[in-house]
């Protein structure tokens, strides 16, 4: 972990829930549900040892589900000594099964699988005495997804709930504070699942809902100040959510010691460079450097058609521009010691660097992702590396970032260069920027209208998340694409030969899968009419109605 991450966690997380991941599709969801209840959580791999767990000092442990059978040859296991640490444990699905077999019980195949909603009945005594099921009904619906199930509970355990298919739908040993369910309380399809989590966290573990945005900001600011001292920090500011939130957090902590380098490659959406500069020169007291590199990028991208080559050129040139500023600062007597960047928790999880010491605290020229010049090194500051995306947005709002940055849609690093199919020219950029601005304006208005009908403002559906909002847009992402073809059209009494614009609008929650948005015809008609009428060089608009998979959200 970075030095900042370690300091931040010790200051902000006197209470910590560790989620042990057995490869579950719901692993991250469990951690998010715990954080929704304002208790800090982390995800660790299932091969964690008891000694490693002890060093993390968790207040509670949750064992996730998983796709394997506990008796499979390569099935994930758990260090048995973890159950002897005296820390309350709650297991879900595979987590219940691994608890059972580790502690002397057994797991078997049920006659048939149980998938989806299932009616659950509490044991008569458990309905009165079980602390996990306190204040929930004796008959309730739960979400199941299993073929194997516990056949015999370990000594000292009691069966607390069952279904028609699963005799041991829940079990517990209250003396050792060990609890488990075959079903998934973390999913919304288990109506009383949140109540079970509350019962575990606040009733059984005696935790407090204290992980709030105000406290997070206060502790993070203190940690940055302690680490940085009077040194200088540099940050590559893209205008995206993550880098903007890091910039705002560092600005509050160290002010003019932070230099934000905004490399303008000319490939951002219409109005975005001006918005970014306005925010970080007028709202935040930082050293803001706006690098106008539009001409250099235009020359480098001339005649380049391959999207991967575009990405490589754009990424490499960014670091050249960035390090040129760092060198200028050093020559000016202001050498930079730290590099701040917007790594977020899913990046850490997906990279597999989840154990203590799994991520280096310094990036040098040999780093396999960033082509640093020889001899260049920075100590790393990653203030967001234990936050999920929705939490980053909530943090940005709490820091005072405007909505158009906090709720910015996903946008590719190479910008519009990969939404222009084929060569990138100034004329094509102008066409796409203007068409895309119309798409965003119309669908922003549509989202707001849908939200207003639902009684929610600003086009958002909001639920509590560490004291802040989690945003779920009516249409998740929308943009224009400029293909490398022209088509015949008629405008007035004249024949035209212009570009078509492809409209892409999707519904998704995490970009792993997406469905095309079922927009009303009148909205599509309005977008088409405006683009053709207001954007010179365009005579046709088409709507991409392909889901992901088989397509991707972006075209390149």
Whether 32 and 115 share a structural domain:
yes
Distances (CA, A) of 386 to 56, 191, 425: 14, 28, 40
Q: Over range 322-326, report the average pLDDT.
A: 92
Q: Residue 35 has which token pair?
A: 């954080």
Alpha-carbon torsion, ordered 315, 317, 320, 323, to 10 deg: -50
CA angle 44/369/237 to nearest 5° reads 90
CATH number of the CATH domain containing 466: 3.30.300.10
Whether 228 and 285 share a structural domain:
yes
Residue 21 has pLDDT above 70, yes or no: yes
Residue 362: per-residue pLDDT: 42
Distances (CA, A) of 228 to 124, 191, 255, 257, 381: 59, 46, 12, 9, 9
Q: Residue 235 has which token pair?
A: 């940050």
Whether 351 and 288 share a structural domain:
yes
Whether 273 and 375 share a structural domain:
yes
Residue 447 has pLDDT above 70, yes or no: yes
Alpha-carbon torsion, ordered 477, 460, 187, 133, to 10 deg: 170
8 A C-beta contact, residue 478 and residue 505: yes
Whether 505 and 434 share a structural domain:
yes
Q: Is residue 1 domain-resident?
A: no
Q: Secondary structure of 358-378 in the HEC alphabet?
A: CCCCEECCCCCCCCCCCCCCE
Over the chain, what is the mean pLDDT? 86
Cβ-proximal residues to 367 (8 Å cutoff; 6+ apart), any chain: none
Report the Cα–Cα distance between both ends of the chain, in Å, rounded.
33
Q: Is 20 exposed, middle or buried (0-12, 13-18, 19+ CB in 10 A)?
A: buried
Per-residue pLDDT reduced to its tens digit, 303-316: 999 999 999 999 89
Largest CA distance in the chain: 87
Residue 71 has pLDDT above 80, yes or no: yes
Secondary structure of residue 185 in the 3-state scheme: coil
pTM of the predicted structure, to 2 decimals: 0.77
**What are the φ and ψ backbone dihedral angles of 71, each rounded to 5 degrees?**
-100, 0
Residue 341 has pLDDT above 80, yes or no: yes
Whether 442 and 481 share a structural domain:
yes
Q: Is residue 340 domain-resident?
A: yes
Q: Is residue 555 domain-resident?
A: no
Residue 104: per-residue pLDDT: 95
Provide the b/e sequence for 457-479 (b: ≥16 CB within 10 Å): eebbeeeebbbbbbbebbbbbbb
Residue 251: per-residue pLDDT: 94
Whether 337 and 293 share a structural domain:
yes
Radius of gyration of the chain (CA): 26
Whether 78 and 154 share a structural domain:
yes
Greater pLDDT, 303 or 469: 303
Return the bridge partners of 150, or none.
107
Q: Over range 118-137, report the average pLDDT.
A: 89
Share of the chain above pLDDT 70, in %: 87
Whether 35 and 65 share a structural domain:
yes
Q: Is residue 405 domain-resident?
A: no
Q: Over range 172-195, report the average pLDDT.
A: 94
Residue 342 has pLDDT above 90, yes or no: no
Whether 245 and 179 share a structural domain:
no
Residue 402 has pLDDT above 50, yes or no: yes
Cβ-proximal residues to 59 (8 Å cutoff; 6+ apart), any chain: 15, 16, 17, 87, 88, 205, 207
**What are the φ and ψ backbone dihedral angles of 51, each rounded to 5 degrees?**
-65, -40
Per-residue pLDDT reduced to its tens digit, 243-283: 999 999 999 999 999 999 999 999 999 999 999 999 999 99
Q: Is residue 2 domain-resident?
A: no
Q: Is residue 403 domain-resident?
A: no
CA distance 291 to 238: 11
Decide which of 204, 239, 254 is a domain's last residue. 204
Whether 163 and 301 share a structural domain:
no
Domain count, the chain: 3
Confidence band, pLDDT 50/70/90 cuts, at residue 465:
very low
DSSP structure string for 527-543: HHHHHHHHSTTEEEEEE
Decide which of 347, 367, 398 is a domain's last residue. 398
Q: Residue 452 has which token pair?
A: 């207003």
Share of the chain above pLDDT 90, in %: 63
Decide which of 337, 368, 398 is a domain's last residue. 398
CATH number of the CATH domain containing 299: 3.40.50.620
Cβ-proximal residues to 307 (8 Å cutoff; 6+ apart), any chain: 418, 556
- The catalytic residues are 93, 184, 186
CA distance 100 to 104: 6
Confidence band, pLDDT 50/70/90 cuts, at residue 474:
low
Per-residue pLDDT reduced to its tens digit, 482-516: 999 999 998 877 888 999 999 999 988 666 678 99
Q: Over range 60-80, report the average pLDDT.
A: 90
Whether 293 and 440 share a structural domain:
no
Q: Is residue 532 domain-resident?
A: yes
Q: Is residue 501 domain-resident?
A: yes
Tell me the residue range of the domain where 247 lies: 213-398
DSSP structure string for 5-19: HHHHHHHH-SS-EEE
């Amino acid at each position: 972990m970075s030095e900042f991450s370690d300091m931040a966690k010790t200051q902000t997380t006197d209470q910590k829930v560790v989620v042990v991941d057995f490869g579950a599709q719901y692993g991250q969801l469990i951690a998010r549900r715990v954080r929704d209840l304002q208790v800090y959580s982390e995800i660790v791999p299932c091969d964690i040892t008891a000694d490693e767990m002890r060093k993390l000092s968790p207040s509670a442990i949750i064992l996730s589900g998983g796709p394997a059978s506990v008796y499979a040859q390569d099935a994930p296991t758990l260090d048995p000594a973890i159950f002897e640490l005296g820390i309350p444990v709650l297991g879900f699905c595979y987590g219940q099964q691994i608890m059972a077999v580790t502690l002397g019980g057994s797991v078997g195949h049920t006659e048939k699988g149980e998938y989806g909603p299932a009616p659950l009945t509490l044991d008569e005594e458990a309905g009165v005495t079980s602390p996990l099921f306190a204040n929930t009904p004796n008959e309730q619906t739960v979400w199941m997804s299993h073929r194997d199930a516990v056949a015999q509970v370990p000594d000292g355990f009691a069966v607390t709930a069952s279904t028609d298919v699963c005799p041991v739908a829940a079990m517990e040993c209250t003396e050792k504070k060990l609890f488990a369910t075959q079903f998934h309380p973390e999913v919304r399809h288990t109506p009383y699942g949140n109540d079970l989590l509350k019962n575990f966290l606040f009733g059984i573990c005696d935790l407090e809902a204290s992980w709030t945005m105000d406290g997070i900001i206060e502790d993070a600011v203190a940690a940055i100040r302690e680490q940085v001292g009077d040194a200088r920090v540099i940050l590559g500011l893209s205008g995206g959510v993550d880098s903007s939130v890091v910039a705002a957090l560092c600005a509050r902590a160290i002010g003019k010691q932070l230099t934000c380098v905004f490399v303008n490659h000319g490939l951002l959406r219409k109005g975005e460079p001006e918005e970014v500069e306005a925010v970080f020169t007028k709202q935040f007291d930082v050293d803001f450097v706006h690098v106008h590199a539009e001409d250099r990028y235009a020359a480098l991208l001339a005649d380049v058609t391959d999207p991967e080559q575009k990405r490589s050129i754009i990424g490499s040139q960014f670091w050249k521009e960035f390090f040129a500023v760092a060198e200028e600062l050093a020559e000016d007597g202001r050498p930079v010691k730290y590099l701040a960047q917007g790594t977020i928790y899913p990046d850490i999880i997906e990279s597999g660097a989840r154990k203590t010491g799994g991520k280096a605290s310094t990036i040098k020229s040999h780093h396999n992702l960033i082509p640093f010049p020889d001899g260049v090194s920075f100590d790393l500051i990653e203030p967001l590396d234990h936050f999920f995306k929705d939490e980053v947005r909530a943090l940005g709002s709490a820091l005072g970032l405007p909505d158009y940055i906090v709720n910015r849609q996903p946008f590719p690093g190479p910008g519009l260069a990969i939404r222009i199919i084929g060569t990138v020219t100034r004329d094509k950029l102008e066409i796409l920027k203007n068409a895309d601005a119309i798409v965003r304006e119309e669908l922003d208005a549509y989202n707001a209208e849908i939200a207003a009908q639902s009684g929610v403002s600003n086009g958002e559906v909001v639920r509590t998340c560490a004291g802040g909002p989690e945003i779920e847009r009516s249409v998740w992402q929308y943009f224009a694409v400029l293909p490398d073809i022209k088509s015949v059209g008629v405008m007035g009494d004249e024949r035209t030969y212009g570009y078509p614009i492809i409209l892409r609008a999707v519904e998704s929650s995490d970009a792993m899968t997406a469905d095309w948005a079922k927009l009303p015809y009148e909205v599509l008609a309005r977008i088409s009419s405006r683009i053709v009428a207001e954007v010179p060089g365009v005579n046709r608009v088409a709507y991409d109605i392909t889901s992901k998979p088989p397509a991707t959200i972006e075209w390149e």
